[in-house]
Amino acid sequence: MQIQRKDFLERIIEEFAEVLASLAGLRKTRSYLAALELIDRTVGGIMGMNEEVVSMLSFESLRDLMAMDPLLDDNHRLMLEELLRERATLLRKLGRSAESTDMVGADNFEAFSGSTASTSWP
């Protein structure tokens, strides 16, 4: 059973690393809309939702759905935290501050892991 779990975790890490690498490339070219679409698609994939639905949900709705999903483990929650952080930054870059504020309230991300790290977009 341990070997299966290790393989599963390795696959999750590899997939997430690919997404982060793609986001870094999009950040470099300032392709904010494409990055936002990638984030929504990835969050949707993790949560088993359509990316269009993800793009319409508030932070609170996503957080509540995550809390109710018994299949999401801490690894997935940490990945979702980072993706939602990136999403909020992108929304600000796109001039959609009201949506980004909804996602990055003072204590919002502590609901996931207590982390306060953030990625900087140019």
Chain segment 21-44, per-residue pLDDT in tens:
999 999 899 999 999 999 999 988
Is the distance from CB of 91 to CB of 103 less than 8 angstroms?
Answer: yes
Q: Is residue 119, in this structure, part of any structural domain at all?
A: no
Q: Is residue 56, in this structure, part of any structural domain at all?
A: yes
**Pick from 46, 21, 16, 27: nearest CA to 87:** 27
Rounded to whole angstroms, the Cα distance separating 69 from 98 reads 27
Q: Which domain holds residue 65?
A: 2-111
CA 49 to chain CA centroid, Å, is: 13
Write down the pLDDT at residue 28.
93
Q: Is residue 55, in this structure, part of any structural domain at all?
A: yes
Q: What is the pLDDT of residues 60-94, one digit of tens each?
A: 788 788 888 877 778 788 888 888 888 888 888 88
Against a cut of 0.85, is the pTM above it? no
Write down the pLDDT at residue 2.
66
Total number of domains in the chain? 1
Q: Is residue 122, in this structure, part of any structural domain at all?
A: no
**Would you give the end-to-end CA distance of the chain in angstroms?**
44
Is the distance from CB of 88 to CB of 100 less than 8 angstroms?
Answer: yes
Q: Is residue 21, in this structure, part of any structural domain at all?
A: yes
Q: Is residue 99, in this structure, part of any structural domain at all?
A: yes
